[in-house]
Structure 1
Amino acid sequence: MNRSVCVFFFVFAFFIISSCGVSRRAELRSRAYKIEGFAQGTSYQITYYAESAIISSRSISQLFSELDSSLSIYKPYSLINQFNNSANGLIMDDHLFKVVQRSMKIWKESEGVFDISILPIVEAWGFGANKHSIEPSNSEIASALSCSGSDKLRIEGKRLIKTMPCLKIDVNGIAQGYSVDVIAKHLESKGIQNYLIEIGGEIRVKGRKQPGNQLMRIGIEQPAEKGNDEPIIQKVIELHGGAITTSGNYRKFIENGSKKLSHLINPKTGRPIENKMISVTVKTRDAMSADGYDNVLIGLGIEKSFDFLKKHKGLEAYFIYRDDHDVVRDTASAGFFK
């Protein structure tokens, strides 16, 4: 090695060591800042670590307002409602485009288990913006099914086209995860590298707690036992980064006599999902993917879910279910707790 190379190596190594030292000193000066509130029909909490409060609650509220104006079926003026009320479609903004594009991908991969064109069926069961507890008739379900199906949707550039005027979409099964990712991008654009974002139980993590440098810890609920409203923490995991979301059929339902009907609908039958699954928690790189795939897995059931996971590297899941004797059990894919 000649002298000029040695000098370069020394300067390069000194730069790395110095940079690490500066970074570590910044981490030692970091503290936790929290922003909490209510949006998208649920609570949210953002915890980030920085030397000063560089994210305002106002900027977060503006993001939620922007997201709702695009994706919320509960806002009459939203872009998604404009699409639903249109005869054949419209030009999407970036939010709707990204969510619909990913939804169509998951629809194809799941062979229709996840389907955003389910809104006519959701409304028939009273889970839409206009809630009710009257079970639809067979003919009402058949009518709703005839107006659904993502095969009746087409994306051309930024235009979303529907082939039937009665077709309507609902992205609630994936939009909250997408919202988490949007806020994560906002934090990272401000140079924040350590954070935890949670919206209605949908979580994304990067980095570690500061200044102690501990990993972020996440609790996974088990449904409360009968007669007890308090949920039980079934497992606690440490996240090195990425997203974790949960889909369950024990929190939202309608009561019809002695029956509790899940809000999770099978797009193929037009009826609530009936299987042994209680909840599915998915861990993967981004929250939008986790949010979409947790719906797929709860619809597939235990056996088919493991087959699905084998085909999707980077996707891990934890399941809570009832066995044939109605006993609550749990199981997970090999990489979930790693």
Structure 2
Amino acid sequence: MSSYITKWLAPVGLAFLLVACKPADINGASTNGEQHLTGNTMGTYYSIKIVGLKAARVEAIQSSIELRLDKVNQQMSTYLADSELSQFNQLTSAEGFSVSADTAKVVTAALQLGRQTEQTLDVTVGPLVNLWGFGPDERPVQVPSAQQLSQAQAQTGLGHLRVEYALDGQYLYKAIPELYVDLSSIAKGFGVDVISEYLSEQGLTNHLVEIGGELRLSGHNRHNKPWTVAVEKPHNSDSRSDELVQQVLVAGNNSVATSGDYRNYYEVDGQRLSHTIDPQTGQPITHNLASVTVIDPSCMIADGLATALTVMGPEKALAFAEQHELAVYLLTKTDDGFRVDMTSAFKKYLRG
């Protein structure tokens, strides 16, 4: 789930808005040649189905998967004080800070998506998230003042962040010492891509990789059919499992990411405050867009786009997605339930 304040890479569980495969009770359970590997990572779970993986290789493959996930965590977590990203956030000078190629790649993608979406995706928005009480700080007892908002906004902005590629490596730069980068809206998708690409390199091209609801599909399932997944219907926590499916998809060799905003909120001074912050206003979004699902070859890109489109709102998001030929599915809350909108590029993925 994409969100500016998702506790990605933190020791907490995450709600998710995409129904795929539920974690198995026992790691390595095999049915008709399909292995199901599960575990914990990035503050949530991973669930991976692999067709054609022999039982003798399960332990080695799962060990390699977890090493790669731990590496991403050590690079980009904001909850590990010694991660690359945390060390950069603690930096108070304008000097270049050396980072891995992976971290530079994800920050570069975040900057590019930020520019393409008119900065509705902004990985520097953390001070505003904290101000409104959705970060690690305590929830405020009143709506922030205009002065507080102005001060927090002065500490944010993609224009203050830069990536430089040199012969000796990659470097991050911050133009203001207070700049704080949080990659939770894009890097979990990157983790999915890392694992999917690793499995393909191992000759395991038929697989489904999920981390906390973000998915990447490749090849076919154990029945030699394309993988199917489903967009979750907005619901209350006590809803029955047969009420959860909104739309079944056959997404092919693609990734699927969903961002939602229908459950995570609180009230202050009689105002309903969404957990999703609009970087341009510095305030929680006020529109009724409940969830956005994006299909793209890259889970990292799908993850970031889902967040950016959620900030835009239903009309602007749909127009933007059509203009850029994106495969996008929107659910908007109305007085009569939820309205469905989708782009032309999305329709080919619907299962009848």
Question: Shared fold (TM-score greater than 0.5)?
Answer: yes
Q: Are the counterparts in 2 of residues 126 and 134 from structure 1 also a CA contact under 8 Å?
A: no
Q: Is the aligned partner of 1:142 residue 2:175?
A: no
The aligned amino acid for 1:63 is R
Question: How far has the Cα of 1:239 moved from its partner?
Answer: 2.2
The aligned amino acid for 1:41 is G
Once residues 270 and 229 of structure 1 are traced to their aligned partners in structure 2, the CA distance between those partners, rounded to angstroms, is 37
Q: Gaps spanning 5+ residues in structure 1: where? A: 1-28
Q: What corresponds to 1:34 in structure 2?
A: 36
- 1:1-338 alignment runs, 5 A limit: 31-53=33-55, 54-55=57-58, 56-87=61-92, 88=94, 89-130=96-137, 132=139, 134-135=141-142, 137-138=144-145, 139-157=147-165, 158-210=170-222, 212-225=223-236, 228=239, 232-256=244-268, 259-313=271-325, 315-323=326-334, 325=335, 327-338=337-348
Once residues 48 and 237 of structure 2 are traced to their aligned partners in structure 1, the CA distance between those partners, rounded to angstroms, is 32
Question: How far has the Cα of 1:257 moved from its partner?
Answer: 6.3
Once residues 274 and 106 of structure 1 are traced to their aligned partners in structure 2, the CA distance between those partners, rounded to angstroms, is 22
**% identity of equivalent residues:** 31
The aligned amino acid for 2:120 is V
Q: Are the counterparts in 2 of residues 244 and 283 from structure 1 also a CA contact under 8 Å?
A: yes
Once residues 333 and 320 of structure 2 are traced to their aligned partners in structure 1, the CA distance between those partners, rounded to angstroms, is 20
Question: How far has the Cα of 1:129 moved from its partner?
Answer: 3.7
Pair 1:204–1:51, CA change in 2 (3 A): closer
Pair 1:51–1:276, CA change in 2 (3 A): closer
Pair 1:94–1:253, CA change in 2 (3 A): farther
Provide the secondary structure at the position in 2 that maps to 1:204: strand
Once residues 252 and 70 of structure 1 are traced to their aligned partners in structure 2, the CA distance between those partners, rounded to angstroms, is 28
Q: Are the counterparts in 1 of residues 131 and 140 from structure 2 also a CA contact under 8 Å?
A: no
Q: What corresponds to 2:21 in structure 1?
A: none
Provide the secondary structure at the position in 2 that maps to 1:173: coil
Larger RCO, structure (CA 8 Å, separation 6 or more): 2
The number of equivalent residue pairs is 307
Q: Are the counterparts in 2 of residues 276 and 301 from structure 1 also a CA contact under 8 Å?
A: yes
Q: What corresponds to 1:26 in structure 2?
A: none
Once residues 286 and 196 of structure 2 are traced to their aligned partners in structure 1, the CA distance between those partners, rounded to angstroms, is 35
Q: What corresponds to 1:5 in structure 2?
A: none
Q: Which string of whole-angstrom CA distances, capped at 9 and with x for unpartnered residues, describes residues 281-300 of structure 1?
A: 00111100100001111111
Question: How far has the Cα of 1:228 moved from its partner?
Answer: 4.4
Q: What corresponds to 1:4 in structure 2?
A: none
Q: Are the counterparts in 2 of residues 218 and 237 from structure 1 also a CA contact under 8 Å?
A: yes
The aligned amino acid for 2:43 is G
Once residues 146 and 183 of structure 1 are traced to their aligned partners in structure 2, the CA distance between those partners, rounded to angstroms, is 37
Once residues 237 and 35 of structure 2 are traced to their aligned partners in structure 1, the CA distance between those partners, rounded to angstroms, is 37
Once residues 183 and 267 of structure 1 are traced to their aligned partners in structure 2, the CA distance between those partners, rounded to angstroms, is 31
Root-mean-square deviation over aligned CA pairs: 2.1
Pair 1:214–1:133, CA change in 2 (3 A): farther
Question: Computing the radius of gyration over CA atoms, which structure comes out larger, 1 or 2?
Answer: 1
Provide the secondary structure at the position in 2 that maps to 1:239: coil
The aligned amino acid for 1:77 is D
Q: Are the counterparts in 1 of residues 132 and 144 from structure 2 also a CA contact under 8 Å?
A: no
Provide the secondary structure at the position in 1 that maps to 2:185: helix
Question: How far has the Cα of 1:137 moved from its partner?
Answer: 1.9
Provide the secondary structure at the position in 1 that maps to 2:177: coil
Question: How far has the Cα of 1:76 moved from its partner?
Answer: 1.4
The aligned amino acid for 2:148 is E
Provide the secondary structure at the position in 1 that maps to 2:126: helix
Pair 1:195–1:299, CA change in 2 (3 A): same
Once residues 238 and 48 of structure 2 are traced to their aligned partners in structure 1, the CA distance between those partners, rounded to angstroms, is 32
The aligned amino acid for 2:73 is D
Q: Are the counterparts in 1 of residues 132 and 143 from structure 2 also a CA contact under 8 Å?
A: yes
Pair 1:50–1:227, CA change in 2 (3 A): closer
Once residues 126 and 214 of structure 1 are traced to their aligned partners in structure 2, the CA distance between those partners, rounded to angstroms, is 45
Q: Are the counterparts in 2 of residues 30 and 51 from structure 1 also a CA contact under 8 Å?
A: no
